[in-house]
């Protein structure tokens, strides 16, 4: 069924002729919780590498709290992802998460030849090409997004397999420190419900231009709303 859906999507979603990003691209975000500045995040397109004799891109994500917010609740997260150069699915996902008193390290390697995901403690059978949130960001930047077309993805980050969907739900002008961007709004969801537990909801705004930048990311939770807004491109 998954392969049939992928076949259908091939005809409904067209790829860009050229990828709209290059090695060395650094996207910097401000982080706000309920309009209060709490930290920053960075998404760095580091370069080309080899993984299991496959050509991949290496992407690095950092997120951290600053100032008073760091005193109250320290966050220092680093995530590295190795993404397929052709189709932008995940070959390896390495996470070093430090949030308050919680810390966790995860290293998942995907062996698509043998259809398994490998961690330090187990091997999990898979029948899909994995797309974590970060490889998904870059994949979305390589396709033409069509309104109301539902895209189907699967991810595995060391605990359980997550099947999720994405859908473009409309357009909106977003103002950032870099200016105004006309953006397409992307909503992730699972089985017709919100993506996260406890009524959590997420939206992604991708610029409707040649760069297809992830301009804004917003996660709504019961305790409040976290917003990442693009502030700098290097």
pLDDT in tens, 82-102: 999 999 999 999 999 999 999
The yes-or-no verdict on residue 15 having pLDDT over 80 is no
CATH number for the domain that contains residue 64: 2.50.20
Closest among 47, 77, 48, 79 to 65, alpha carbons compared: 77
pLDDT band of residue 197 (cuts 50, 70, 90) is low
Q: Is 3 a member of any domain?
A: no
Q: Is 17 a member of any domain?
A: no
166 Cβ neighbours under 8 A, 6+ residues apart: 136, 140, 150, 151, 153, 186, 187, 188, 189
- Cα distances (angstroms) measured from residue 28 to each of 121, 213, 228: 34, 11, 9
DSSP string spanning 167-215?
EEEEEEEEEETTEEEEEEEEEEEETTEESSSTT-EEEEEEESSSS--EE
Q: Is 89 a member of any domain?
A: yes
Closest among 116, 155, 117 to 136, alpha carbons compared: 155
Q: Is 189 a member of any domain?
A: yes
Hey, how many other C-beta atoms are within 10 angstroms of the C-beta on 140?
Answer: 21
Q: Is 172 a member of any domain?
A: yes
The yes-or-no verdict on residue 124 having pLDDT over 90 is yes
Confidence (pTM): 0.86
Q: Is 103 a member of any domain?
A: yes
pLDDT tens, position by position, 36-51: 999 999 999 999 999 9
pLDDT band of residue 199 (cuts 50, 70, 90) is very low
State how many domains the chain has. Answer: 1
| Residue 196: per-residue pLDDT | 52
Closest among 39, 44, 33, 30 to 74, alpha carbons compared: 39
- Are the C-beta atoms of 38 and 31 separated by less than 8 Å? yes
Find the mean pLDDT for residues 68-78. 94
Q: Which domain holds residue 185?
A: 23-233
Q: Is 40 a member of any domain?
A: yes
- Residue recorded with tokens 């969801």: 189
Closest among 158, 223, 149, 224 to 186, alpha carbons compared: 149
């Amino acid at each position: 069924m998954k392969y049939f859906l992928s076949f259908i999507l091939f005809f409904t979603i067209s790829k860009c002729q050229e990828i709209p990003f290059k090695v060395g691209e650094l996207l910097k975000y401000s982080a706000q919780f309920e309009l209060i500045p709490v930290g920053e995040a960075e998404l760095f397109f580091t370069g080309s590498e080899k993984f299991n004799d496959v050509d991949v891109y290496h992407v690095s994500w950092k997120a951290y709290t600053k100032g008073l917010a760091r005193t109250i609740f320290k966050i220092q997260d680093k995530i590295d992802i190795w993404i397929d150069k052709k189709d932008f699915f995940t070959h390896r996902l390495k996470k070093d998460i430090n949030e308050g008193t919680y810390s966790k390290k995860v290293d998942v390697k995907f062996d698509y030849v043998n259809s398994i995901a490998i961690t330090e403690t187990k091997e999990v059978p898979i029948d899909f090409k994995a797309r974590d949130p970060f490889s998904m960001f870059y994949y979305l930047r390589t396709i033409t997004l069509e309104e109301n077309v539902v895209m189907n993805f699967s991810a595995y980050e060391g605990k359980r397999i997550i099947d999720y969907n994405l859908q473009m739900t409309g357009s909106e002008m977003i103002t950032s420190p870099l200016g105004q961007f006309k953006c397409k709004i992307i909503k992730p969801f699972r089985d017709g419900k919100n993506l996260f537990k406890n009524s959590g909801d997420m939206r992604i705004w991708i610029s409707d231009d040649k760069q297809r930048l992830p301009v804004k990311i917003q996660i709504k939770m019961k305790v409040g709303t976290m917003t990442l807004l693009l502030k700098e491109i290097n």
